[in-house]
A and B are shown apart, each in its own frame.
Chain A
Amino acid sequence: MMFGELRKLRRKTLLIPTLIGVALLTAFFTSFVFLRVETGKPNGARGVLITNEFLSGKNGLVYGFQIMGFFLGIVALCVFASQTAQEYSLGTLRNILVRQPSRLKVLLGKYFAMAFFTIWLEIAAAIFALSISFALAPRSAISTRAWLTASGLQLLGETFINIFLGTLAFGTLGMILGLLFRSPITSISIGVLWCLILENILGAVISSTTKWLPGANFANISQGGTSIISYQRSLATSGSYLLFGAIVVAILFKKRDVSN
């Protein structure tokens, strides 16, 4: 099942636009941080001022990549949701289930294939972000000496794992929505609207809700935790939400008639 799903994921019409989108977003955010560092104006995530000294430390290597974590998550949400829901809208689910009647194997195969796809997407984002960071650092007189030290590379590894987990969490939410709504447009709209808009409004109105909102917790995993929500808390909260959602949709997927 996984190899069949990978064949679909590597199709040019999905792969190339996704890679271009990731490359453009990475280029935009990373460039923004590095090119505005000398202006003294906010240049980081959520209007934070990132200084030359900060970027000259080991964090400078991963900062641009880290900002992309959230957007990679949104991309994963869209890909997981569309790849899952389109089996219903195209009617291809019946072909799959006739060839692989174990519905849980179908779900797991799809999930692992999309997780694998996420890793490749993240590697691409990391390459773009790091290349742009190295290219723009001299222009803003940012020292890259600390970037390639052992602790700098360790931070890169940790950031990669955190972004992968955060992105996978967004993707899992996308798959859950895809299985629930069985329509790519509906599931993507609801997922993106919730994570990008509704959570931000809720968080702005009642700040304490941020600790409990799924999208905020997924993004927090990508960031490696913050002073507001710890990494461990986000892992536990996100894991609980996703486990509950996954159990519900797995039962639905197993029991539902495939009548389209």
Chain B
Amino acid sequence: MSNLAISVSELSKVYGDRQAVSQASFEVPVGSICGFVGPNGSGKTTTMRMLLGLIKPTHGTGSVLGENIKHPEKYLSQVGAMIEGPAFYPALSGAENLRVLASIGGFSQKRVATLLEQVGLGDRGDSKYKTYSLGMKQRLGIAAALLPQPKLLVLDEPTNGLDPSGIQEIRNLIKEMAKSGTSIFVSSHLLSELEMISDHLVMLREGKVLFTGRTDDLLAAQNPLLVVKPEFAVDLNRLVEIATKHGKKATVLDGSITIFGAVDWAPSFNRLAFEAGITLSGLSVIQPSLEETFFEMTGE
């Protein structure tokens, strides 16, 4: 088998006159946790749907677990997926919903109880799905994705609606799955979460791939940031003005300003602020996070 869990080449999807995905090419190595990031409407879910055979690409090719995406029946028995949130029958219990899917996929019914325990729904498995909170629904969706003991797990926003401890549990679950050799392709708008777990990234904007590769490589290639905190918050906008006047891009965030690509300029900026009568209470150089890199690259 190929050492790629997913490989797509020039994959495109057009709806009428709207290009949902445009010539996307990327690879996800076997055993990796690959984060799939992009703003809303950038084509993440459409791409995932194409990989799962739910929609047909307008153009381009791809393979999942070494099999052509034109023949999803050859690989879907080894793929677990949760696309665009959980969707189940409201009048059935969580356990019954999983049993329905296990029957359809030909999986052992015995896995249902184990999976409910694994996602923290052991004591609510017999409750009707319609009584579940958003977080519980999300957990059930993940349990359903794990039914086939997948070699590849495709998760679309798996932490939506979860509280911090739930997010941590899912993070740990994803890490455990990856340790056991499962490849994971996960999209999330919580970029800090993806930064913590992803070893690979695919970054999408307006249907086009902006970056694909190792997370470390992406972050290492970014210029450090200068974070400046004034003594008084009223001076924030004046500091932005000073930076902008000297051709630097600066944004206000959480009582500080972040100046992009200006590490060598720190002493000069300190002096300019002093001359303007502004006292700085903090001035530090940091490596940009995935979130900052994402905003920098997508221009959002």
Contacts and interface: CB of A to CB of B under 8 A. Distances in A.
A7 B97 CA distance: 9
B54 A257 contact: yes
Which of B46, B90, B100, B101 has most chain A Cβ within 10 Å? B100
A120 to B, nearest CB: 18
A138 interface: no
Interface stretch (B73-81, B161-169, B252-260, B284-292): B73-81
Contacts, number: 81
Interface string B42-54: 0000100100111
A152 to B, nearest CB: 41
B87 A92 contact: yes
B54 A98 contact: yes
Interface in A63-95: 90-92, 94-95
B149 to A, nearest CB: 13
Interface residues of A, number: 25
B91 interface: yes
Contacts of A101: 53, 72-73, 76
B66 to A, nearest CB: 16
A5 B73 CA distance: 20
A258 B53 CA distance: 9
Looking at chain B, what size class is its interface with the partner chain?
A: 20 to 34
A5 B144 CA distance: 16
Q: Is the interface of A mostly helix, strand, loop or mixed?
A: helix
Interface string B61-99: 000000000001100100101011101111110001001
B87 A94 contact: yes
B49 A97 contact: no
24 contacts: A3-B103, A4-B100, A7-B100, A8-B89, A11-B92, A14-B91, A90-B87, A90-B88, A91-B85, A94-B52, A94-B83, A94-B87, A95-B144, A96-B101, A96-B104, A97-B53, A97-B54, A98-B53, A98-B81, A99-B76, A99-B104, A99-B148, A100-B104, A100-B105
Given A4-B102, A4-B104, A95-B101, 4 more contacts: A8-B92, A92-B89, A98-B53, A259-B55
